[in-house]
Amino acid sequence: MRGNKAKNTIPELLLRSALWENGLRGYRLHWRKAPGKPDICYPSRRLAIFVHGCFWHRCPHCQPAFPKSNQPFWEEKFRRNQQRDERYKMMYREAGWHQLVIWECQLRDNLDGCITLIRELHRGVPPSWQVAA
């Protein structure tokens, strides 16, 4: 697992490139002052964006296959990842921030929808829909 990157992953770079092209600039990368150091953060808008890998965070949309070997290790690993994600969600909610989770498969299947949702949150308009994977 040492070879798995935590920062500047391909999905993260794809989203950042699309944000830049759509004029949604001024974000901070892995901002340490926000809980969990979100992948992309707009501090002035109180918007934190996490780009989750489908495998590591157990995507509810594409439901990736579970590893066949060393299952107790993987079950514990995924459980801890999901607990951490829930803890961050509560911290942002209590702080009055918007926390957005963009899944790797959503970027692949509906990048324009992800950008539209981020644009709405960036403007401060509460979105009336969620990005469909």
What pLDDT is stored for residue 36 in this prediction? 86
Q: Judging by beta carbons within 10 Å of its beta carbon (0-12, 13-18, 19+), is residue 104 exposed, middle or buried?
A: buried
Q: How many CB atoms lie within 10 A of CB 55?
A: 15
**21/23 Cα distance (integer angstroms):** 6
CATH topology for the 10-123 domain: Endonuclease; Chain A (3.40.960)
Query: pLDDT at residue 2 above 60?
Result: no
Pull the structure tokens for residue 22: 């759509």
Q: Tens digits of per-residue pLDDT, 78-127?
A: 999 999 999 999 999 999 999 999 999 999 999 999 999 999 998 876 55
**75/71 Cα distance (integer angstroms):** 6
For the entire predicted model, the pTM comes to: 0.86
Q: Tens digits of per-residue pLDDT, 59-69?
A: 998 989 989 99
Q: How many CB atoms lie within 10 A of CB 121?
A: 19
